[in-house]
Amino acid sequence: MTTDADIVDELRAAGLVGEGDIALTPLTGGVSCDVWKVETPSGPIVVKRPLPQLRVAAEWHAPVERGTSEVRWLRRARGVDPKIAPEVLAELAGHAFAMRFLPGCPVWKDELMAGRVDAGFAGEVGRGIAAVHAATAHNEGDRADFPNDEMFRALRVDPFLLYVARHDAELAPALEALAADLSGRKIALVHGDVSPKNILVSADGPVFLDAECAVYGDPAFDIAFCTTHLLLKAVWSGDARLNEAAAALVAAYRAGIDWEDAGGVLLRAGKLTAALLLARVEGKSPAPYLTDPGHKHVIRDQARALIRAPQPVDALVANWKRTFA
The pTM assigned to this predicted structure is: 0.89
User: Is the same domain home to 168 and 39?
Assistant: no
Tens-digit pLDDT profile for residues 182-235: 999 999 999 999 999 999 999 999 999 989 889 999 999 999 999 999 999 999
Residue where a domain stops, chosen among 100, 126, 148 = 100
User: Is the same domain home to 40 and 67?
Assistant: yes
Got the DSSP string for 97-158? EEEE--TT--BHHHHHHTT---HHHHHHHHHHHHHHHHHHTT-HHHHHH---HHHHIIIIII
Is residue 324 in some structural domain? no
Is residue 77 in some structural domain? yes
Is residue 82 in some structural domain? yes
User: Over 80: is that where the pLDDT of 299 sits?
Assistant: yes
Taken in order 263, 79, 144, 52, the sign of the CA dihedral is negative
Is residue 325 in some structural domain? no
Tens-digit pLDDT profile for residues 69-126: 889 999 999 999 999 999 998 887 667 888 888 889 999 999 999 999 999 999 999 9
pLDDT for 109: 97
Is residue 141 in some structural domain? yes
User: Is the same domain home to 127 and 22?
Assistant: no
Distance CA 37, CA 201 (A): 18
User: What's the total number of domains in the chain?
Assistant: 2
User: Is the same domain home to 126 and 55?
Assistant: no
Q: Compute how many other C-beta atoms are within 10 angstroms of the C-beta atom of residue 56.
A: 14
Tens-digit pLDDT profile for residues 220-279: 999 999 999 999 999 999 999 999 999 999 999 999 999 999 999 999 999 999 999 999
Domain that residue 58 falls in = 4-100
Is residue 23 in some structural domain? yes
Question: What CATH number is associated with residue 268?
Answer: 3.90.1200.10
How far, in Å, are 3, 53, 257, 309 from residue 187 at the CA level? 38, 30, 12, 25
Nearest to 276 by CA among 300, 244, 250: 300
pLDDT for 24: 75
